[in-house]
Chain A
Amino acid sequence: MRLAYWMYEGTAHHGVGRVMNSMRGVHAVFHAPQGDDYVYTIFTMLERTPGFPAMTTSVVSGTDLARGTIRLPETLRQVEASRNPELIVVVASCSTTLLQENLEIAAQSAGVGCDVLVYDANPYRMQETVAAESLFTELVRRYAAPQPLTPHPSVNILGPSSLGFHARHDLIALRRMLAVLGVEVNVVAPWGASVDDLRRLPAAWLTIAPYRELGAAAADYLEAQFGTPALREAPIGVQPTLRWLHTLVDTLNELGAARQPATARAITLPPLTAFSLDGRSAPSNVPWFARTADMESFSGKRAFVFGDATHTVGVAKFLHDELGMPLAGAGTYLLKQAGWVREQLKGYIADDQFLATDTFQEVAARIAELRPELVCGTQMERHTARRYDLNVMVIAPPTHIENHLLAYRPFLGFDGADVIADEVYTTCTLGMEKHLIDMFGDAGLEEVPEHTRTVEREEQEPGEQRDEEPALSSAPQPRVTRSSPTEVQPIWTGEAEAMLKKVPFFVRGRVRGNVEKFAIERGIAEISAEVLLTAKEQLGA
């Protein structure tokens, strides 16, 4: 048993909801206490669903348990009558799995006409990602039917899903590139797919499965069962996108050439400008942008990347290879994917710079210790970084409602490369400004005296009120106060404090932290001007 304050992954229940809310004509029924209906809110509020998500809680109450009532058959009938789905997936919750009921029998007794799948998602053994991936694979196994390939080159796109990170935007980016190539999209799943679409999966020539977290196992199955090759790389960044396009074109053409008779049209890679929005510009501005004078300062900015598997690897490589930023460390909370992530990042980071943990405090501690110039992480790292006054951008789930924006912001493809680069640039302190401020002090840019600012931040995080709101809503939430640090804080003399004031404000927090750490390590209780100078000298601050 442990004390839990924050979880990276949602529950198995939530994973099932994500797959079901992605698909058309299916429905999830949760055999669960009424309170577990909270998962519904995550969809209706974060994704702002204009319709009712395809999931219903079949309530188990204390009274039901005492009386031995099981409402599941009645719920199934009600769902069939009101929604008329082709498939209902039934799952138990953390509490109801312990009841050891036979849900198969209960479901059968409902006598509904549609398919009913009782999905055994043990919530103590699997969390959101594995539950979603296994359910999706199971559905593909169940429905994918042997059939001839489409006459012309076509692909399936597996992985985009409800509440997937920027999934809808990624899908648009992929579709745009495929349209430029003239490659047909056979099926997208689970996003928007019906059971019938799953049946049609084997008609595609190739599977595109960019996410390690969802769709990869189904791609494996289609390859093993129907011989459909899969393109498993995530085209994050310009060079990976180019490689991805070449592999796609070559594979499709090889398949086309091998067909008897070879009637399908061959795919050719058009001039790269065809991939730009106006069809006549660079497909991405990243290669030139990265070489501009302005970006030189980024070669001194260290980044720490933490998230799921796909985005951690993709973004870490992008920062390093395409923006020329050094990596201070990287890691993932998906422990089952940790081996793959580590392997992928060989040569990018040393072994001891890699972190695999699902305890957010450990990640926070690592960030506090590294104090990188850029943190790329999840919603939790966003909080941690703000706490330490570090630049931060969100690159992986879990997300906050503020990550669910309206404009087109893919992570994949050429478009995605521009989006990520922009985010990095605007997140980090701008290069030119930094030089000026370094030379001329804070240049009047600082409005709040730093000392008061620090005090306020300790007590109530002004201007951070949004962080204290529920992730889902704009409910007025009472404030949260921060408890005081446990170590004995060294005291700053007036003189040292005055010297610190001369440090540019945007690095002052970091200098203060480093100097205090320096003092604590050496058992220095009072930071005088002398101590500050020594520390600055030794730390190169």
Chain B
Amino acid sequence: MPPKVQFTREDGLYHSFCGLVSVGWLYQKIKDSFFLILGTHTCAHLLQNTLGVMIFARPRFAVSLLEEADLSSSQPQIADQIAEIRREHKPSVIFLLSSCTPEVMKVEFEGLAHSLSTPELPVLFVPASGLDYTFAQSEDSVLQALIPFCPVAPPEDKRVVFLGSVNDAIADDFALEAARLGIPVAGFLPANHFHELPPIGPGTIIAPLQPFLPRTATQLVNERECTILSSLFPFGPDGCRAFWEDLAAHFGLRIDLAEREAAAWERIREHTELLRGKKVFFATDILMELPLARFLRAAGAEVLECSTPYINRRFHARELAALEGVRLVEQANFERQLRSIAAEQPDLVISNIITANPLIGRGVVAKWGTEFIFSPIHGWAGVNPLVQLFTRALRRHTRLDPLGLDPIWTAGVMPSASGDVIPLAQQ
């Protein structure tokens, strides 16, 4: 039974993105894929504003646009579009993503995907709508859809499969590190190509690299009877040590990475000295908050609050245990967080892209959390980039001339502002 760590659930996160944004990294990761979103103008607007890449020739994602006339039919006709995509992009797999409007219309996505699927070109349904999914959660949906296409490994095939999309350089690091420790690797889920998916069976150890994939993990256990590594996620020296030691143990290898960990801490000492005793407040939505907060605490910072969209007691068990004593909040109410920030005066707020500038306008040192998703912060090689993401904001803030929050420097920038931006310190 996972330990009963206490956390509060509030009434809802409202500054966040929906599951569609994970298309931004997944279409590049799975190089022979196409992501088709059955959605509206809103979904297209979201994608072009947050990803901004669609204009480039023909990206491998698009929105199949529901217009007024399409609202009455419960099963949208997208066969022509699938044909167009097949012709122009020649993908090996098409992911069909749901969005809010077709969800409300009760489009039967499973059936729709099934009817469009052919053996040569599978069309896989990926639940991603903003009614149910936040941010990176939809990667979980994509990986779930890929499970049936992973070959079944025989029971005697005892190897590791790394779970979660990481870029090629990080993947190489993990494969290399495993080889060095004598851990046999079956592959990565997702792989770079649809037909390179790793074999998974009862002997497989699944090692999650990303903390937002609990559904895929559960489904793998249920369908393939494999084992999920329960450890810390491989972020920071402490996380990497636990991850590799625990993973090795599954292969009967007893290794001690204490020295390796100490050396890694030593290499970033200049940064941890800066972090020591700093009060950090997490008010973001990237679903990586738990391991990031755990690392910060190990680095000597004081984590005032760690909020995250969803906590999974089993999948996050080790991280939760390591965060004992920290105020943990699921589905945080941002207005309440603003009041807490005002009262507790953190030195650093990990915010999301949506709220970063207004927080800075209130005199808060804010670091935009989305950057953690796009940065190579996994594994031993990721330790440095990881700690720097935290310290860069702090350093920059001290380097710049103090603004003193004199409203004169923001006057006229924002028409709706009354002109007197009140620093949180004075509330």
Which A positions have Cβ atoms within 8 angstroms of B?
1-7, 10-11, 13-14, 20-24, 26, 33-42, 44-45, 47-54, 56-63, 65, 71, 74, 78, 82, 93-96, 98-99, 123-125, 127, 160-162, 168, 190-192, 360, 379-380, 383-384, 387, 400, 461, 467-473, 475-480, 482-483
Contacts and interface: CB of A to CB of B under 8 A. Distances in A.
B41 A127 contact: yes
B49 interface: yes
A6 B361 contact: no
Contact of B13 (A34, A95, A98): A34
Contact of B356 (A13, A20, A44): A44
A172 B64 CA distance: 42
B416 A24 contact: yes
A1 B50 contact: no
Interface stretch (B117-125, B318-326, B407-415): B407-415
Contact of B353 (A39, A360, A473): A473
A53 B413 CA distance: 12
B425 to A, nearest CB: 15
- The winner among A33, A61, A65, A360 for most chain B CB atoms within 10 A is A33
A471 B356 CA distance: 16
B54 A1 contact: no
B355 A93 contact: no
Given A61-B132, A471-B48, A480-B53, A1 B81 contact: yes
B354 A98 contact: no
Given A22-B415, A35-B130, A50-B421, A59 B68 contact: no
A417 to B, nearest CB: 23
13 contacts: A1-B70, A5-B55, A35-B17, A40-B15, A41-B50, A49-B361, A65-B104, A98-B105, A125-B68, A468-B53, A470-B52, A473-B353, A475-B371
Nearest to A1: B70
Nearest to B65: A4
Contacts of B103: 62, 95
Nearest to B46: A38
B414 A51 contact: yes
Contacts of A383: 55-56
Given A7-B41, A51-B358, A482-B56, A41 B130 contact: no
A94 B89 contact: no
A14 B131 CA distance: 19
B415 A35 contact: no
Contacts of A471: 48-49, 52
A20 B361 contact: no
B55 A360 contact: yes
Given A21-B416, A93-B42, A61 B131 contact: yes
Given A44-B355, A50-B358, A94-B41, A477 B416 contact: no
A383 to B, nearest CB: 4
A7 B48 contact: yes
A6 B54 contact: yes
Given A1-B65, A47-B414, A476-B375, A99 B104 contact: yes
Contacts of A380: 55
Nearest to B360: A50
A160 B335 CA distance: 30
A161 B368 CA distance: 27
A23 B63 CA distance: 33
Contact of A469 (B41, B52, B62, B371): B52
Given A5-B59, A51-B358, 13 more contacts: A36-B18, A49-B358, A50-B358, A51-B421, A54-B416, A95-B40, A95-B101, A124-B71, A190-B415, A192-B416, A387-B57, A467-B55, A472-B50
A523 B125 CA distance: 44
Contacts of B25: 478
A387 B63 CA distance: 23
B417 interface: yes
Interface in B338-358: 353-358
Which 4 pairs, one residue from A and one from B, show the smallest C-beta to C-beta distance? A35-B18, A35-B130, A50-B361, A95-B100
Contacts of A473: 353, 368, 370
A266 to B, nearest CB: 32
B28 interface: yes
Nearest to A81: B335
B249 interface: no
Contacts of A45: 353, 357
A300 to B, nearest CB: 30
B166 to A, nearest CB: 12
B255 interface: no
Contact of B12 (A36, A71, A400, A476): A71
